[in-house]
Structure formats: C-alpha cells, structure tokens
Amino acid sequence: MEEDEFFGEKTFQHYCAEFIKHSQKIGDGWEWRASKDCSDGYMCKTHFQVKNGTAVSHQGTSDHVQTFLPVEEALDAPLDDFEVTETTAAAEVIKYEYHVLYSCSYQVPVLYFRASFLDGRPLALKDIWEGVHECYKTRLLQGPWDTITQQEHPILGHPFFVLHPCKTSEFMTPVLKNSQKINRNVNYITSWLSIVGPAVGLNLPLSYATAASHDEGNVSGQDSSTERKSLEEH
C-alpha cells in the first residue's frame, strides 16, 4: 500500500530477493514462496539435522550439551565419536523450517520457525532450544527480542514459533544508522537474520556479509532517500 514507510513491504521483498540470490550462489537453500493469491509471500528454508546423543525426551540426566550436526557430517563421522550412554534412540532426523514474513503492523520482518521429526511429530519449544548454543540462549533471554511464542502462521494458518517483532526496530535502527555513517550498504534482511537467527538455531555463513556490501548501490533512488529521511527522524 504505502511506500513512505521506513521499511515497506516492497523494500522487504527487494532485500529478500537479494538475499536469496546469494543463497542460491552458495547453495544455502533459501527460496521465496508466494501466497496463493500472490499478493504477498515469504522467504523460507528447510533443513534437516541429525541429533546425536540421548533421546529428546530427557530420560535420565545428560551432562553433555546436545549439539546438532548437519546430516552430511553425521554420516561421515566414525562411529566411535558417538557415545550413547543413556537410553538409546536411533539418531533422529529433525526437519527445521524457517520462514521470514513481513509484518505490516510493525513494518519489520518476522521470523517464524518450527521443527518436527520425519514422521510429523512436532518438537516442543524446549526441544528446539536444546540445539541452540548456551551463549545465544542467554542473549535471547536478556535481549530486547525476548519473547518466543507459538502463533498461527499468517499465510499458512498452521502453528509456528515466532520471535516477537515489536522490538525489532529498536535493535535494527542502530545497525542501519551505523552502516550509513560508514557509508556501507547493508541488506536489512541479512543483518536482521544474522542477529535473530542464531538464537533459534539458524546460522548464516559469513559470505552473506560480504555479499551484502557488494550489493547494488541503492535499493532504488527513491526508497533509500526516504529511508535516510526516516532514519534521521528517529
């Protein structure tokens, strides 16, 4: 509708398109999905990970931090590396889905995610957190984006976990202001996703950062001057 906003839907879609271009170059798996009526859409990525170690249902106590390995690594690693001391579950494959949608109410991107076993059994939030490194968990709890709730996906209608968007512009504004100062081009989506993603197990290869600064100079002459104006007003 309106493009005089700080981060309008068109701008969002543009940054997603640039992001996906790089993703395709490095085979990172992100793609764009349009809604049925094609009026909007979202960016999504699905990946599979193998869980090693004890079963998800926390039988007994487990001292070692459970970490996730990408499937290829798990298959290559020699069997000795896997010590299963507790009740064994066959290494379970978990499907992770990450969706990036645009919120017109808050005019920021929003990260939706869910995880399930291959048979469709969903993971609870606490199970997803087990795959996240401790340092991110602490940051997540302290940080301004400290609410993860289960919500209905606005386009698909199914339950997803969501990082609440109301604080996004708070932590994104300094990032964008700073990039302006040092006159570097920034892909909003890349910066934002690199901040919120790791907290929920989503990591971005570093090459995204270098790709962003090599991006086309301006989003479009009009858009960036509007963005600059809005940034100044903040």
135 has catalytic annotation: no
For residue 215, the number of C-alpha atoms closer than 13 Å in the C-beta half-sphere is 26
Q: What is the dihedral of CA 59, 64, 65, 68, to 10 degrees?
A: -80
Q: Is residue 41 close enough to count as binding other proteins by CB under 8 A?
A: no
- When asked if residue 217 is in the footprint of other proteins (CB under 8 A), the reply is no
Backbone angles phi, psi at 161, to 5 degrees: -90, 145
Does 44 contact other proteins by CB under 8 A? Answer: no
Three-state DSSP class for 114?
Answer: strand
Segment lying near other proteins (by CB under 8 A), choices 15-23, 145-153, 179-187, 193-201 = 145-153
> What are the tokens at 88?
């064994």
- Which of the stretches 14-22, 59-67, 153-161, 214-222 binds other proteins when contact is defined by CB under 8 A? 153-161
CA distance 103 to 7: 10
Q: Using CB under 8 A, which of the segments 21-29, 53-61, 98-106, 185-193 binds other proteins?
A: 98-106
- The smaller minimum CB distance to other proteins, of residues 8 and 53, is found at 8
Cα separation, 136 vs 228, whole angstroms: 31
197 binds other proteins (CB under 8 A): no
**Minimum CB separation from other proteins for residue 231, in Å?**
16
Is residue 46 a contact residue for other proteins (CB under 8 A)? no
The rounded distance, in Å, linking the Cα atoms of 52 and 81 is 10
Sites of contact with other proteins (CB under 8 A):
1-2, 35-37, 104-106, 120-122, 147, 149-159, 164, 166
